[in-house]
Amino acid sequence: MKKFFITANWKLNGNIKMISSFFERLKLYSSVFLEKNIVIIAPPTIYLERVYKNIKNMNIFLGAQNVDINLQGAFTGETSALMLQDIGVKYVIIGHSERRLLHHETNDLISKKFHLIKELNLIPILCIGETERDKKNGQTQKIIKAQLNCIFKKLGKSVFNNTIIAYEPIWAIGTGLSADPKDVQLIHQFIKNYIKKHDKINTNDILVQYGGSINHTNVKKFIEQPDINGLLIGNSSLSLQEFLKIIKIAHDII
Q: Nearest approach, Cβ of 156 to ligand PEP (angstroms)?
A: 28
What gap in Å lies between CA 243 and CA 247, rounded to an integer?
A: 6
Q: How many CB atoms lie within 10 A of CB 21?
A: 11
Q: Is residue 213 annotated as involved in ligand binding?
A: yes
In whole angstroms, what is the distance from residue 237 CA to residue 196 CA?
Answer: 31
The site string for ligand PEP over 6-35 (x = CB under 6 A, - otherwise) reads: ---x--------------------------
When binding is defined by CB under 6 A, the residue of 122, 143, 232, 247 that contacts ligand PEP is: 232
User: For residues 237 and 8, is the Cβ–Cβ distance under 8 A?
Assistant: yes
234 annotated as belonging to a binding site for a ligand: no
* 156 part of the interface to ligand PEP, by CB under 6 A: no
From the candidates 98, 130, 168, 188, which is the catalytic residue? 168
The DSSP 8-state label assigned to residue 166 in this structure reads E
Do 16 and 50 contact (CB within 8 A), yes or no?
yes
- Residue 198 annotated to the active site: no
Site string for ligand PEP, 167-196 (x = CB under 6 A): -x----xx----------------------
Query: Is 73 annotated to bind ligand?
Result: no
Angle at 144 between CA 142 and CA 146, to 5 degrees: 70
Helices (H) and strands (E) in the chain, counts: 11, 8
**Do 58 and 105 contact (CB within 8 A), yes or no?**
no
Count of residues touching ligand PEP (by CB under 6 A)? 13
Q: Tell me if 174 is assigned to a ligand binding site.
A: yes
Q: How far is the CB of 31 from ligand PEP (least distance, A)?
A: 26
Stretch that binds ligand PEP, among 44-52, 62-70, 141-149, 229-237 (CB under 6 A): 229-237
- What's the CA gap between 53 and 55, in Å, rounded? 6
Three-class DSSP category at 232 = strand
Site for ligand PEP in 75-94 (CB under 6 A): none
- What residues are designated binding site for substrate? 9-11, 174, 213
Q: Site residues (CB under 6 A) for ligand PEP?
A: 9, 168, 173-174, 211-214, 232-236
Catalytically active residues are 96, 168
